[in-house]
């Protein structure tokens, strides 16, 4: 089953937290697919990944780019694994019907969004019922993550 990690953003926005997590993906030589809710948001995140840190580079592309399927990190608004990723990132409330085809799925959500938290709780319960390993991580003021709850079979 897929390991599903819920990342509860509290002290920094998605635009700052996502690149840090993607650096870990690149360090491990994994491939990532980032699914968001719109093509406009894909473009915004693409811009952010190019500029988030002057001394770093995250190799990535966007849906529609030439050779997008070759990218180790691919940004999209479509629910399809075009770059044969083993790690799925769902952001901005995006969903996927293909979570079981990934080794790891990371759901990043804003801890200050009351409506979003309701959806996250429902998703957590649903994934647990499906037999996935579910891990809940909360962001500390320092930006580090601490595991708050692990849900197993």
Unique residue bearing structure tokens 């996935």: 132
Separation between Cα atoms, residue 81 and residue 29, nearest integer Å: 17
Using one digit for the tens of pLDDT, what is the confidence trace for 40-93? 999 999 999 998 888 888 999 999 999 999 999 999 999 999 999 999 999 999
User: pLDDT value at position 67?
Assistant: 92
3-state DSSP assignment of residue 115: helix
User: pLDDT value at position 86?
Assistant: 97
Residue (of 86, 90, 105) closest to 36 by Cα position: 90
Using one digit for the tens of pLDDT, what is the confidence trace for 11-48? 889 999 999 999 999 999 999 999 999 999 999 999 99
Quote the pTM value. Answer: 0.92
pLDDT band at 150 (very low <50, low <70, confident <90, very high): low
Using one digit for the tens of pLDDT, what is the confidence trace for 120-137? 889 989 999 999 999 999
User: Residue 62 is encoded by which pair of tokens?
Assistant: 């966007």
């Amino acid at each position: 089953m897929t390991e599903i990690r819920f990342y509860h953003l509290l002290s920094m926005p998605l635009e700052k937290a996502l690149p840090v997590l993607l650096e870990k993906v690149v360090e491990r030589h994994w491939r990532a697919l980032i699914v968001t809710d719109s093509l406009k948001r894909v473009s915004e995140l693409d811009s952010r990944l190019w500029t988030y840190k002057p001394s770093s580079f995250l190799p990535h592309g966007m849906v529609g780019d030439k050779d997008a399927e070759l990218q180790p990190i691919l940004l999209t608004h479509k629910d399809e694994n075009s770059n044969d990723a083993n790690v799925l990132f769902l952001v901005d409330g995006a969903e996927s019907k293909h979570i079981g085809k990934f080794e790891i799925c990371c759901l990043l959500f804003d801890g200050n969004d009351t409506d979003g938290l309701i959806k996250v709780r429902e998703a957590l319960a649903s994934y647990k019922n499906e037999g996935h390993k579910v891990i809940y991580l909360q962001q500390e003021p320092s930006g580090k993550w601490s595991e708050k709850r692990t849900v197993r079979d």
